[in-house]
């Protein structure tokens, strides 16, 4: 009888410990980190909603941790096209620093994609005619 009672008590205590472990109480660390979540930049972008655009600029980006890779195209209103450019970059908070490469692997431009409130903007920080100087990007 004593052996059965000890077994019941041991099983009850094991169940209680496992039940308590399954309940995760929020900690202050969870709330402190809530505002510093890194936004992702992976996705497809186009400037087709920008009224001031001089051509159609598209980006297709994939993100792994803080690294970006993908492709870009820029077709100007006069029919001139950049062709497909390779894109590599990194994420720094709400900013994606991007480098653009031609099909031979030569760097042809640099720019920054950033999130300002609820809109993405792209600003070139080089002097290339292969991508726009500045434009508003829509993510889809």
The pLDDT tens digits of the residues spanning 59-104 come to 999 999 999 999 999 999 888 999 999 999 999 988 999 999 999 9
Q: Give the pLDDT of residue 117.
A: 81
pTM for the predicted model, two decimal places: 0.71
Predicted pLDDT of residue 25: 34
Q: Which long-range contacts (CB under 8 A, 24 or more apart) does 4-13 make?
A: none
Same domain (yes/no): 20, 44: no
Instruction: Write out the residue range of the structural domain in which residue 14 sits.
Output: 2-35
Specify whether 59 is located in the same domain as 126. Answer: yes
Q: How many domains would you assign to the chain?
A: 2
Q: Is 92 in the same domain as 118?
A: yes
- 51 and 110 share a domain? yes
For the chain, the 3-state helix, strand and coil shares in percent, each to the nearest 5, are: 20, 45, 35
Query: pLDDT tens, 13-59?
Result: 444 444 434 433 333 222 222 333 345 899 999 999 898 898 999 99
């Amino acid at each position: 009888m004593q052996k059965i009672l000890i077994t019941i008590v041991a099983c009850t205590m094991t169940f209680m410990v496992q039940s308590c472990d399954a309940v995760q109480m929020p900690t202050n660390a969870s709330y402190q980190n809530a505002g510093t979540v890194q936004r992702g930049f992976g996705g497809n972008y186009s400037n087709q909603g920008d009224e001031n655009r001089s051509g159609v600029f598209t980006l297709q980006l994939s993100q792994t941790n803080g690294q970006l890779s993908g492709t870009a195209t820029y077709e100007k209103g006069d029919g001139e096209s950049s062709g497909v450019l390779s894109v590599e970059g990194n994420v720094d908070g709400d900013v994606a620093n991007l480098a653009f490469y031609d099909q031979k692997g030569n760097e042809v431009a640099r720019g920054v994609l950033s999130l300002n409130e609820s809109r993405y903007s792209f600003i070139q920080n080089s002097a290339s005619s292969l991508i726009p100087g500045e434009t508003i990007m829509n993510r889809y």
